[in-house]
């Protein structure tokens, strides 16, 4: 692997890494040569993932952390990772959650939870790790957003607002951190074949009376390719953005959605 494609010697952090997209990204970064710190709320799943990364010959750290809690982010996550790795080269903000409700009568709790999980957590984690990247004058910040960061859709007002906010933060940081050779980008997947999407399917079944197969097919039809995206497809884009070859790409929102949103 050429030097501008290899991540050998790089140190990465992936939030929301215990399953789905985050897990795929953590493994892909390790496969490309990076040492990887993985974070989520469930420690047992993180330990298993860390063992898999160790088996690839990479260093791995498993850190249980609630990324909506700034104290946990600053002390447990950033403090633990920087203490162990001595620095950070790649940050992947993947932690997030979905939820839906009609806007009329929309639960305030859902609004606050969606913003906390999908937008404010990106702020907390990026803020915690940016100083280390600034000090070394290099870094990659990659936020997993959604096509909901690009367009609106019914019943997901809070989720859409949060993802739009996360993308706005990505663009602002891309400008502010540019002098330090830090790139900041977003990946905007469509529906991905993950436990989160399976939970969405179960919710559709409960609310509409559709069968599980019908609900899944309705999500598949949202893509011109008539399928769900795989976590590995998103992970490959993240790995590319983390490489030296992507040094000129910053402030971008890269859709991985089978052509659903062409802008």
Residues catalogued as catalytic: 159
* Angle, CA 138 vertex, CA 133 and CA 143 arms, to 5°: 70
Sign, CA torsion 101/103/108/111: positive
DSSP calls for 63-114: EE--TT-HHIIIIIIIIHHHHHHSS-SEEEE-------B-STT--HHHHHHH
Q: How far is CA 185 from CA 123, 192, 204, 250, in A?
A: 14, 19, 31, 5
The two tokens of residue 183 are 């790139």
Residue with tokens 């905007």: 188
> Would you put residue 191 in left (φ > 0), alpha (ψ -120 to 50) or beta?
beta
CA-CA distance, 221 to 203, in Å (whole number)?
18
Of the candidates 184, 3, 172, 179, the one whose C-alpha atom is nearest the C-alpha of residue 92 is 184
Which SS3 state, helix, strand or coil, does residue 233 take?
Answer: helix
């Amino acid at each position: 692997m050429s030097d501008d494609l290899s991540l050998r010697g790089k140190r990465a952090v992936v939030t929301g890494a215990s399953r789905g997209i985050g897990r795929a990204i953590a493994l892909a970064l390790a496969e490309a040569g990076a040492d990887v710190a993985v974070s989520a709320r469930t420690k047992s799943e993180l330990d298993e993932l860390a063992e898999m990364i160790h088996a690839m010959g990479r260093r791995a750290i498993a850190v249980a952390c609630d990324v909506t809690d700034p104290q946990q982010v600053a002390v447990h996550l950033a403090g633990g990772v920087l203490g162990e790795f001595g620095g950070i080269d790649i940050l992947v903000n993947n932690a997030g959650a979905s939820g839906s409700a009609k806007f009329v009568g929309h639960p305030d709790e859902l609004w606050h939870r969606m913003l906390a999980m999908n937008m404010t957590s990106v702020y907390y984690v990026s803020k915690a790790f940016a100083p280390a990247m600034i000090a070394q004058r290099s870094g990659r910040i990659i936020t997993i957003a959604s096509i909901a960061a690009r367009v609106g859709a019914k019943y997901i007002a809070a989720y859409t607002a949060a993802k739009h906010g996360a993308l706005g933060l990505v663009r602002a940081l891309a400008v502010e951190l540019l002098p330090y050779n830090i790139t900041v980008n977003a990946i905007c997947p469509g529906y991905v074949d993950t436990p989160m999407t399976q939970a969405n399917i179960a919710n559709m079944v409960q609310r509409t009376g559709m069968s599980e197969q019908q609900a899944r097919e309705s999500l598949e039809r949202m893509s011109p390719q008539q399928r769900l995206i795989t976590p590995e497809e998103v992970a490959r884009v993240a790995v590319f953005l983390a490489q030296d070859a992507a040094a000129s790409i910053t402030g971008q929102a890269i859709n991985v959605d089978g052509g659903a949103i062409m802008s």
